[in-house]
Amino acid sequence: MTEESAARQNELFEARVKHPAMNRLVEELMPLLLTPSETNIIIVTGATGVGKSTVTRVLLKQLMRDFAVEIERDQSALPFVGVEAYANGDQRHSFKGLYEDICKELQEPGMVSKAPLTEVDGRLVMNPQSRNTVAGLRKVVESGLRHRKTRVCVIDEAAHLLRFGRDAAVMDTLKSLSNTTNTKWVLVGSFDLFDLVASHGQIARRTTILNLERYRATSAEDRDAFKRLVTLLQAKWPCSSVPNFSAISNELLEVSLGCVGLLKNLMLDAAALQIKNRGEWDPRFLRRAAKASKLRKVIETEIEVGEAKVRDALYGRSTWDDKALEKLAARMGGCISA
């Protein structure tokens, strides 16, 4: 592979395309984040490869635009932070790593010399030993969020939080952090995140779930949007001889289950095969690049189960159906002037 083709392959890999569902989700999400309410934890779920990490980036960019005035006015303020809840191979790990990442994002200086203060029976004691404990780090994080005037914390790959402890304990921690620091927490991750909420009514009261929809083959609007997406990715093709993917966009939609990530995987593998074949395209590359049918089935089943799990818990899906709502509206009449 030449340097030029490697660079172009990387360009295709790095390409991020916003799709209409993503825009809709961000539009729904922003008012929840910017207005004060008791809904302090917002969960953004979606199928694997549907573009959740892209949604995180889009959200952070949008937050940067919305808080621009505040950031400009106060040189120390960090109105939002974004971190990733990573998995480090342990079967179980604690909030320590997450807190350390938040401290890093909060630009907390002198982490090696921290000595959190604790008040016991009217006495204040410095605890240099607690700088490496979860409790000590939590104090540092709380102080940082308060003083940096942080209002939104975004955690990508939040499903890894499930390994931090019992679901209720994880959510209780986030809830109390949110209460003490007056911040809203956005957890972005797979459908498993629903398990965090389902455990406790207290938590469900403070939580809203949004789902990033995948492209549906049954919707004409989605098919057109998917075709535009294929055309955009096709424009970044790393070889001079470019296969006409947009002509088979419907088939690609079906094979990728409407998930952009899966489509990109297919196209990246096909491009690699073409580069290896000295830039000559062979239609058989498509078959080799597409997910094996058994693996595809596994993914499809997981997506369907996940979607079914969160379907009735999504934001806007209240107990009132269209008919009931019509009745309510009729009884309420017009608005009363304040």
User: Which residues would be at the binding site for other proteins (CB under 8 A)?
Assistant: 71, 74-78, 105, 107-110, 113-117, 119, 122-128, 131, 136, 139-140, 143, 147-148
DSSP H helices, the chain, are 3-14, 20-34, 52-66, 68-73, 96-105, 134-147, 167-181, 194-198, 201-205, 220-234, 249-255, 260-276, 284-289, 293-310, 322-332
Shortest distance in whole angstroms from residue 184 CB to other proteins: 19
Nearest to 248 by CA among 295, 283, 219: 283
CB-wise, 111 or 169, nearer to other proteins? 111
Q: How far is the CB of 144 from other proteins (least distance, A)?
A: 8
Q: Do residues 166 and 137 lie in contact, with contact meaning Cβ atoms separated by under 8 Å? A: no
Alpha-carbon span 26 to 32, nearest angstrom: 10
First to last CA, the chain: 69
CB 195 within 8 A of CB 311: no
Contact predicate 200/171, CB 8 Å: yes
**Shortest gap between Cβ of 148 and other proteins (angstroms)?**
7
For residue 36, the minimal CB distance to other proteins (Å) is 22
Instruction: Between 141 and 161, name the residue whose CB sits nearer to other proteins.
Output: 141
The pair of structure tokens assigned to 93 is 């790990």
Instruction: Closer to other proteins by CB, 128 or 279: give it.
Output: 128
Name the one residue in this structure whose structure tokens are 């395209």.
281
Q: Are 206 and 40 in contact (CB under 8 A)?
A: yes
Q: Which is nearer to other proteins, 136 or 258 (CB)?
A: 136
CB of 134 to other proteins, least distance (A): 14
Query: 82 vs 97, which CB is nearer to other proteins?
Result: 82
Closest approach of Cβ 2 to other proteins, in Å?
34
Nearer to other proteins, 77 or 168 (CB): 77
Beta bridge partners of 82: 154
Nearest 10 degrees: Cα torsion 183, 187, 193, 197: 20
Nearer to other proteins, 114 or 184 (CB): 114
Q: Cα separation of 68 and 70, whole Å?
A: 6
Each as own residue / partner, the long-range contacts of residues 292-299 (CB below 8 Å, 24 or more positions apart, any chain) are: 296/255, 296/257, 299/47, 299/48, 299/257, 299/262
Cβ proximity to other proteins: between 125 and 247 the closer is 125
Q: Residue 136 CB, nearest distance to other proteins (Å)? A: 8
- Rounded least distance, CB 86 to other proteins, Å: 18
